[in-house]
Homo-oligomer: A and B are copies of this chain.
Amino acid sequence: MQNRFAARRDRLIATLREKQLDAFLVTNFTNVTYLTGFSGDDSWLLVSDGQVRMISDSRYTEQLREECPDLSCEIRNAGVDIIDSLKTTLGEFGFSGRVALGVEAGSMTLCEAERIREKLGTAELIPEPDQIERLREIKDEQEIQAIRESLACAMDGFKRIREQMKPGWTEVDIRNNLEYEMRKCGADDRGFPTIAASGFRAALPHAVPTPDHHVGEAELFLIDWGAKKNFYISDLTRVLITTDKPSDLLREVYQTVLDAQKKAIAAIRPGVMAKDVDAMARNHIADAGYGDAFGHGLGHGLGLLVHDRGSFRPGVTTLLQPGMVLTVEPGIYLPGWGGVRIEDDILVTESGCEVLSAGFPKEFDEMFL
């Protein structure tokens, strides 16, 4: 059986033919991981039709043997320039004259490109902004499984925090303990810096947790968090109700966001345009009179990065395909009062979609501290 990484590389090789590239140079470390399973950095992958080589250095010899046993490697010693190794490899691949080399223009820096051009006079660098990101948009079985496991860590960690949490805990306490508990539940790491925002601070789009605000000082507490497990990220948001007597406003805002989220999720299936899913939630919120209070897109792709390619936004005409994983996270933010956002991670399936975080409490009555 061909391994999953070789299968991913084959999809890249197919695009080489389409684009008449001699070879593709993968310099973005996330994409190197995607195509090989290698977890280190400072390593590039050269792919041509028929040959693949990892260009790395002697610090990684052992790790490459463990993580990518089937991969051919060009290992340089400390002090040798990676571009000299690239040159050697191109020669061994049989490219002696002009070579049309696809490069990752969305992450390659001007300095890197300049140095490659100087040292590889015969290489024509063909900018390919997002070739591998496009491949990554459709997750394979192993990737979906990794996201499920990442979600399990995130959900378990949150459950533990809900049990421990008391009035007086600050935003920083919640962040610190949640990230710690996720790891105790098996996460390799947090997926991204946790947002923990009390009351009015939940209306700030990029609230960094502070030690100055605490659970119970307002009627709501917003947490946006996720885990990383086997390289894959999960991403959830819940709002806890931190009073026994929530206001009518909180009740109305919460229910509006939740209904908007459910409507959007119900619309997800292959062939639907991303913008139409966004519109399901956006129109619901606008009809309730909160149109101006939902200022961001409905969701984003999820995978090796917390913001992977793909999004539910106005104007995005991408057609949904089975294997895409995206967040659905509508919100209503009222400056000075607070904000409610509810976020789950959704897999597009052959027949519709699966909420990967299904069953994780989000009804109003389930959110009391």
Q: Which residues of B contact A204 (CB under 8 A)?
A: 62-63
B105 touching A127, Cβ below 8 Å: no
Contact indicator B106/A108 (Cβ below 8 Å) = no
Of the candidate stretches A109-117, A243-251, A359-367, the one touching chain B is A109-117
* Interface flags, A165-199, vs B, CB<8A=1, else 0: 00000001000100110011000010001000000
| Whole-angstrom CA separation of A111 from B205 in the bound complex | 27
Q: Select which of B40, B110, B206, B296 is within 8 A of A110 by beta carbon.
A: B110
As a 0/1 sequence over residues 264 to 299 of chain A, the CB contacts with chain B under 8 angstroms (1 = contact) are 000000000000000000000000000000011000
Residues B176 and A296 in contact, CB atoms below 8 Å apart: no
> What's the Cα separation between A189 and B194 when bound, in Å?
11
Is A107 among interface residues, defined by CB-CB distance under 8 A? yes
Asked if A40 contacts B106 (CB within 8 A), the reply is no
Contact present for A106 and B113 (CB under 8 Å): no
A103 adjacent to chain B (CB < 8 Å): yes
Q: Mark A36-77, 1 if CB is under 8 A from B, else 0.
A: 000110000000000000000011101100000000000000
B208 and A39 within 8 A (CB): yes
Picked from B180, B205, B295, the residue with its CB within 8 Å of the CB of A176 is B180
Closest Cβ of chain B to A318, distance in Å, is: 17
Q: A91 on the interface (CB 8 Å rule)?
A: no
Q: Interface residues of A, CB < 8 Å — how many? A: 34
Q: Most B CB atoms within 10 A — which of A107, A111, A172?
A: A111
Q: Which residues of B contact A193 (CB under 8 A)?
A: 189
Q: Which residues of B contact A108 (CB under 8 A)?
A: 109-110
Bound complex: CA A107 to CA B112 (Å): 9
| Pick from B40, B105, B208: contact of A109, CB under 8 Å | B105
Residues of chain B within 8 A (CB-CB) of A113 are 110
Given A110-B110, A183-B176, do A206 and B59 touch, yes or no (CB 8 Å)?
yes
A1 within 8 A of B: no
Q: Which residues of B have CB within 8 Å of A103?
A: 110
Determine the chain B residues whose CB is within 8 A of the CB of A63 once the complex forms: 204, 206
Cα distance, A179 to B175, chains bound together (Å): 12
**Assembled-state Cα–Cα distance A108/B106 (Å):** 9
How far does the Cβ of A286 sit from chain B's closest Cβ, in whole Å?
A: 16
Report the minimum CB–CB distance from A129 to chain B (whole Å).
5
Q: Is A14 close to B, CB under 8 A?
A: no
Q: A80-106: which have CB < 8 Å to B?
A: 103, 105-106
Please name the residue on chain B nearest to A183 by beta carbon.
B176
CB distance from A326 to the nearest CB of B (A): 19
Nearest-CB residue, chain B, relative to A295: B78
Complex interface: chain B residues within 8 A of A295 (CB): 58, 78
The winner among A39, A59, A127, A205 for most chain B CB atoms within 10 A is A205
A→B interface (CB under 8 Å): 39-40, 58-60, 62-63, 78, 103, 105-111, 113-114, 127, 129, 172, 176, 179-180, 183-184, 189, 193, 204-206, 208, 295-296
Closest 8 CB pairs of A and B: A105-B110, A59-B205, A180-B180, A176-B183, A105-B111, A106-B111, A111-B129, A108-B110
